[in-house]
Structure formats: structure tokens, C-alpha cells
Chain A
Amino acid sequence: MRMFDRYLHTVITEGAVQAQRHGSATVEAHHLLLAVAAQEGTAPQRVLASAGLDHGAVRAALDREFDHSLSTVGVSLPSLGLPLPGTALERPPSMGATGRLALDRGFASAPRKKDLRPAHVLLGILRAEVGTVPRALALAGVDRTDLLARVQTVIENGDLG
């Protein structure tokens, strides 16, 4: 299996694990971002870490976005004391609309299929201008445009990992 295909498979599988952990029936873009941030030793993970986004920081940013979005309609989470749901869903999570969009954008950003690199997956996730991921990044004080430029540089420099 090609390196890119192996990476993509890992990210989608890990994204499904993240979705399941959140009690989500679908794999969304932010689950893929968590999965990308968890792949130690890969170029996309290093780019995220260089912007202060290790796996824990991505998780914290997403939690903050969730809390913030609820707070705009007067709902506050800690008061509910919600226990984490169990992890086994009836069927494994399927690719959700935002997850699909992120992957499609990533694939479309390479001139040819054989030019696809792991960093294209992150590029596709970061290209979203609205939704959970850009909101979480903004709340964490991360400049998404700068991050996109860094990913682009990694791709142009031919970083294979």
C-alpha cells in the first residue's frame, strides 16, 4: 500500500475512534483534525505542533469551542455534570458531511492523485472557513491562514512524512 493510502487509512480509522469517543455517529472534520494531531512523527503533526497544537491542545480548543457555542444560547456545561457516554455504538461511525468535505478539499489540492501527501489531508481540514474547526482555531488564538501557509510550504518542500 502506498504511504499516502496508509496514512489516510490511519487518519480515517483514528477519526472514527475519536467520533465514537464523542458519542458521534459520524466522523466530522474536527475528528479528523484530532486524528492528524495524534500521528506522531508525521509532517502534518509537526506543523500543528509548531503552531502550539499538539493533540491535547487541539482537544482543548475543540472543547472550548463547544462550551463557547453553547454559552451563546445561555447553556453552560459544567452545571449539567454529564458523564461521558459509553463508547460502543450500534455501528462504526460513517464519514460525516464536514469530514467528507475536508477530504475532498485535500484531494482536490494535489495536481494528480500520485502527488497526494499526508499534508494534503491537513490542508483540506484547514481550508474550511466556517464550522467547528476554524472556530476552535480562532478561539485558541491560532492564525488559520498562517497555518495553511505552513502546510503549503511543507507540501512544496516535498516533505514525505
Chain B
Amino acid sequence: MPASDIPVPQDPADALAAVVALRRLADQLEDASVERAMRAGWSWPQVAEALGVTRQAVHRKHAKRLIAAGVTLRRRSP
């Protein structure tokens, strides 16, 4: 979608708050989606590539949380 087609709210306060809310939503969606993928047996390199980030980045951000959540993490890709 070209930037000109993004519905920018008229009120700057609404527009800026929407940015904050979308960032928070994206963070929550990332947490939930990575957890779902790992529970489904995806490997770190697969999740990283699908997210478009490095393996180290995704591991650093999510490993501790997933281990705490009791997710069995795969060591290697198939």
C-alpha cells in the first residue's frame, strides 16, 4: 500500500497514538507468533528468516521467555 493510501487520522494526537498502539500490537503479535511457531516445531533459523531478522536477534529476544513458558525448543533445522 503506498504511503498516500494509509488512512492518517485527522487529529495529530490520534495519529501519533495510533503509531504507539500499532508498535505495541506488533510487539505482542511477534511474541505470540514466535511462540506459536516454536510450539509447532519451527527452528530458530526458520523463525528468524520468516521475520526478516538474524537468528541471534530472535533468540536474544524470545528464548528466555519461551523456555519459561515451557516451550520445547528445537536445536537444529530439519
Residues on A lying within 8 angstroms of B by beta carbon are 22-24, 65-66, 69-70, 72-75, 77, 80, 82-83, 85-90, 130-132, 135
Which B residues are closer than 8 A to A by beta carbons? Answer: 6-9, 13-18, 20-22, 24-25, 27-29, 31-32, 35, 60-61, 63-69
Q: Within the complex, which residue of A24, A80, A135 is in contact with B27, where a contact is CB–CB below 8 Å?
A: A24
Residue of A with least CB distance to B23: A24
A85 to B30, CA, bound (A): 9
Inter-chain contacts of B31 with A (CB < 8 A): 23, 85-86
CB pair A135–B35 under 8 Å, yes or no, is no
Number of A-B contacts (CB under 8 A): 76
Q: Which residues of the partner chain B approach A135 to less than 8 Å between Cβ atoms?
A: 13, 17
Which residue in chain A gives the minimum CB-CB distance to B70?
A86
Contact status A89-B64, CB under 8 Å: yes
Whether the Cβ atoms of B20 and A90 lie closer than 8 Å is: no
A23 to B31 alpha-carbon distance, docked (Å) = 8
B29 partner residues in chain A, CB cutoff 8 A: 80, 82
Known contacts A24-B24, A73-B7, A90-B65; is A65 also within 8 Å of B17 by CB?
Answer: yes
